[in-house]
Chains A and B, each alone.
Chain A
Amino acid sequence: MEREVIEADLVLPTHLGFKKIQMYEKYPKGQARGRHRKHLKQIIQAENYQNYPPDVPNYINIESPPSMHPCKKICDITGFAAPYYDPRTNLRYANAEVFKAIRSLPNDYVQRYLALRNAAVVLR
C-alpha cells in the first residue's frame, strides 16, 4: 500500500477487534456474491400484507395515491408549456423550432427523452 493511502486510512481493515465474527470468517471464499439477496419487491411479497388487517399501517398502505391534479404537460426538450405532441416520436414540443429539433434527433435520443418521462418503448 502506498504511504499516503495508509496515512489517509482509506481502506477498511479486515480484522476489527470489536466484532465477534469477522467478515473473512463469514465469507471464506471471498466476497459472497449474495444471490440470495432479496430486493425490496421480494421483501414486500414475502411480508404477505394481505393476511393482516388492512387498517394497520404497513409499507404498502402508506404509499401515496395517484395525483388528482391534471397532468402538467411540458415540452420534453426545453421545459416550456407544450400543447402539442409529435405522433411519430410521441414527444411533446412547444413550438415549431423545437419541432424541427425533434425531427432531426437520432432515435436513441428520442428514446432517452421518452425514458425521462417513463414513456419509452420497452422491448424486453
Chain B
Amino acid sequence: MPFISKIQRQTDYSRFPSSHPIVIDNGGSYFRIGWAGEANPRVIFRNIVQRPRHKITGETVTIVGDHDLALLKYFDCTRSGPRSAFDSNVVYQFEIMEYILDFGFNRLGADGSQIDHPVLITECACNPVQSRSKMAELLFESYGVPSVAFGVDAAFSYKYNQQRGLCDKDGLAVCSGFSTSHVIPFVNGEPVYEACCRTNVGGYHVTDYLKQLLSLKYPNHISRLTWEKVEDLKMEHCYIAPDYASEVRLFQKGAKEAKEKTRCWQLPWTPSPALEPPSEEEIARKAALKEKQGQRLREMAEAKRSSKINELENESKNLEFLLLQLRHVPENEVPSFLSKTGYVSKQEIESAFTKTTQSLRKYKGELENEEKADLSAAEKYTLINIPDNMLTPEQVKEKKRQLFLKTTSEGRQRAKQKRFEEDLERERQNKQDEEKRLENPELYLGQLRAKHRELSEKVEQRKRLKTNGGHSNGNNVSGGVGRGERLNAAQRERMRLLTTAAFDRGKGEDTFGYKDEDWQLYKLMSKDNEDDDEGPDEDEAELARISSRLRDIDPTFVFRSEAGPSETSHLRPLTKEDFQIVLSVERFRCPEIIFNPNLIGIDQAGLDEMAGVSIRRLPAVCQSLDERMTNSILMMGGNCLFPGMAERLEAGIRMIRPCGTLIRVMGASDPILDAWRGAAAYAAAMQFPQQTFSKVDYYEKGEDWLRQYQLRYTY
C-alpha cells in the first residue's frame, strides 16, 4: 500500500501557542492535518466515515478512516457502507465532516475546552458559498476556532513548488484529484480563476472503471474485487500509453511486447482432490451389495404376489361356493339367502366371481390381452347395426351406449397398435445404434459426446437467461440497469419490446397503433411468456437420454449436471488458469479516461485539451503571456502518478499549441503532500493573520463578503 494512514495520537498539542495555526488539507481521498511550519502533516487518514453496529452490545459507533480489517470483525458492517462528506469535491454532508474533524483534532492531541488556534483549511476552486459558509459555521460554533482561512489546494501546491524553483511564476497547474481534475493558470504567482477549467474525472472514476471491467470479465471472482483491492491494482499496474491506438494494436496483433506487458494475478487456489477411479474391490463390493438388495426386493415382491394370489383364490372359492349354493336354493328363498351373504343379486355375484378370476389370472402372469379382446368382442354390439327407427327408446339408449363402448375400445386398440409400432421403431434404431457403435466405437462416442455438450450448453444458457444474473458489485452500478435486474426474463423481454417500439417511432410524434401491424407486438410478448417454460423440456429429456447412454458405454464419462455459470467446457475440472486474473489491455485502458472522458460517457474535454481551453480563456491582458504559460506546467494530485503521464500530457499539448512553443511538463516534488506543505508554509508566514477572518467578521459582513473572499497567495 503506497499510502499509509498515520493516526497516532500526537502528544505535543500543548506545546504550541495559541497563535500557531493548524493546517488542514481536506481532500477527496485523504484528510491531512498538522501544524503550520512543519514539513509533514501529523495525521493522515482516508476521508470516509463508517457507522457500524457492534455485534455484541448493539450500539452504533463511528469509525473514521480506513482501518485494519481484522479489527472490524467485531462490528456488523453490512448496513453501513463507508460514506464520504464530498459530492464531487464539494463538501455537502456536514455531519460527516464533523465526525472527521472530531477525529482529526482528537488525534492531533487537542485538549482544552475549544480549539484555540487559527485554522487554514483547503477547499476546491470556486467553492459554492453555501458550502463555505457551512464549513465556517461548523468551525466557529462547534469548535470555537478564533479565525479561519480558506485556500485552494492546487494553488498551495504550485506556490510551494515555485519556491523550490521547479516552476515559474507564470505557468499552468494541472491538478488531477480524486473526483475532479483542474487546470489553473497562474499569472505573477496568483491563480487566475476566470481561466480555470474543471473536468469531473478523477482517480475514483479510473478505479471504478477498472473494477467494472474486471467484474464483467471474471464474474465468478467478484467477491475478490473489492474497491480497495482494485485501487491497489490500479496503483501498482496501470500506466498511460503514449498513444492509445498504437498500443492497442500491439495487443491485437499478439506481439511479443504485448505478452510482456500483460500482468497476471493468481488467486489462491487449491486443486480439487481427483476422483480416483474406484478400485477393483470397490466395484466388486458395490456390485455384490446391489445384487443383495435386488435379491431382497425380488423376494419381497414374490412374497407379496403369492399372498395376493392366495387371497384371490380364497375369494373366488367362496364366490363359487356361494353360486353353487344359490343354484340349490329354492326360488322364493333367494332374497333372504342373498341378504345373508351381502350381495344384492345373482348377477352381482357372478360379476364379482369373474373379476376375481381375472385378477387371479393376471397375478399368475397369464396374458390378458386376448382376454380383453375377447371381452370386447363378447360385448353385445347387436343393436348397433339395427337402424334407429326400429328400436324402442330404451333400446336406442342401449344402442348409444354400445356405440360409445365400441368406439372407445377401438381407440384403445389403435393406441396400442401405435405404441407397438413405436416400440418396434425404437428397437430398430437401437439396433442401428448398436451396429454403428460396434463398427466404430471412437467416432460414435465422439459424436455422442459432442451432442451432449451442445445440448447441455443450450440448457445452461436458457437457465442462465432465466435466472437473474445481475450481480450488483458493491457500489451500485449506475441506476440505469438497477431496475432491470429485479425483473425476470419474461418481464425484461416485454420491457425490451416496448422500449424498442417506443424508440422506433422517431420524429417527436407517437404513431404507435395507427397501423394494425403495431399491435402484433403484444402477440410476441405473451408468446415469450409461455415459450420459455415449455421449450427446455424436450431438450432436457434428450439430454437425459444421451447422458444415460454415455454413462452406460463410456467409463470415463462424468456428468456434471449443474456446472458454474462461466464454465465453458463441462467435462474439465477447474484448473489453475481459472483462478488467474489477467490485466492486459485494462492496464492502460483505464487511465485513458483522464485524457478521453468520452470513453465513460462524460462529455467533457480531456486533460490535454483542458490546458488549451484554459489558455484560451485567459483574459485579454494576459494574452501576451501564453507563450510562457506552457513553459512551466506542473502536475500534481494523486491521480497524476501514473507512469507515462508527463510524456502523454506533453504530446497532447504540443498537438494543440502553435508549432514551436516551448513545452515543459514536470511533476511536483511530491504530488500528494505538496498541497499540505504549501499550505503549512503559507500559514507560517507573517502575513497569514491578515488573510484570515474571524467569527465576528463572518457574522457582521455576511454571505456576500464571503462570496468574494479569496486568499492572496503572493506576499
Point out residues on A near B: beta carbons under 8 Å: 1-2, 4-5, 8-13, 16-21, 23, 30-32, 34, 37-40, 43-44, 46-47, 55-59, 61-69, 71-72, 74, 77-81, 94, 104, 106-109, 111-124
Contact = CB atoms under 8 A, between A and B. Distances in A.
A34 B113 CA distance: 27
A73 to B, nearest CB: 9
Contacts of B602: 118
B644 interface: no
A75 to B, nearest CB: 9
Contacts, number: 220
Given A12-B99, A111-B484, 6 more contacts: A5-B71, A20-B143, A47-B129, A57-B126, A57-B193, A115-B478
Contact of A38 (B92, B141, B200, B495): B92
13 contacts: A10-B63, A16-B110, A17-B112, A34-B95, A37-B92, A58-B128, A64-B199, A69-B606, A80-B249, A81-B252, A111-B481, A114-B480, A121-B480
Interface in B54-83: 54, 57, 60-64, 67-68, 71, 74
A37 B432 CA distance: 78
A79 B214 CA distance: 12
A68 B605 contact: yes
B113 A65 contact: no
Interface in B174-205: 182, 193-194, 196-200
Nearest to A107: B492
Contacts of B650: none
B114 A67 contact: no
Contacts of A123: 480, 483-484, 495, 499
B238 to A, nearest CB: 13
A111 B252 contact: no
Given A11-B61, A18-B114, A39-B87, A62 B197 contact: yes
Given A19-B102, A65-B613, A115 B481 contact: yes
Contact of B128 (A59, A69, A113, A121): A59
Given A2-B74, A40-B90, A106-B469, A64 B484 contact: no
B673 interface: no
A67 B480 contact: no
Given A17-B113, A72-B599, A115-B480, A8 B67 contact: yes
Interface in B480-510: 480-481, 483-485, 492, 495-496, 499
A64 B216 contact: no
B600 to A, nearest CB: 6
B209 interface: yes
B613 A74 contact: no
A54 to B, nearest CB: 10
Contacts of B197: 62-64
Nearest to B565: A106
Contact of A72 (B113, B252, B478, B598): B598
Contacts of A111: 480-481, 484
Contacts of B544: none
B92 A108 contact: no
Contacts of B114: 18-20
Task: List the 3 shortest-distance A-B pairs measured between CB atoms, nearest first.
Answer: A118-B601, A79-B585, A120-B480
B98 interface: yes
B252 A74 contact: no
A8 B478 contact: no
Nearest to A120: B480
Contact of A112 (B57, B193, B477): B477
B127 interface: yes
A77 B468 CA distance: 21
A38 B94 CA distance: 10
Nearest to A95: B252
A5 B44 CA distance: 20
A50 to B, nearest CB: 14
B68 A58 contact: no
Given A46-B130, A62-B198, A67-B597, A18 B216 contact: no
Given A40-B88, A62-B196, A80 B585 contact: yes
Nearest to A104: B461
B609 A67 contact: yes
A64 B212 CA distance: 26
B605 A67 contact: yes
B125 interface: yes
B209 A120 contact: no
Nearest to A44: B128
Given A38-B92, A39-B92, A12 B251 contact: no
B657 interface: no
A5 B70 CA distance: 10
A116 B212 contact: yes
A23 B603 contact: no
A45 B597 CA distance: 25
A61 B193 CA distance: 10
Contacts of A117: 599-601
A12 B248 contact: no
A116 B129 CA distance: 33
Contacts of A2: 74
Interface string B121-140: 00001111111000000000
B456 to A, nearest CB: 15
A74 B249 CA distance: 12
Q: Which of B92, B103, B111, B461 has the most CB of A within 10 A?
A: B92
Contact of A18 (B143, B200, B252): B143
B9 interface: yes
Contacts of B98: 23
A47 B585 CA distance: 43
Nearest to B617: A62
A57 to B, nearest CB: 4
A122 B479 contact: yes
A1 B105 CA distance: 23
Contacts of B62: 11-12
Contacts of B283: none
B441 to A, nearest CB: 33
A108 B71 contact: no
Given A57-B194, A69-B609, A79 B248 contact: yes
B115 interface: yes
A81 B481 contact: no
Interface in B593-623: 596-606, 609-610, 613
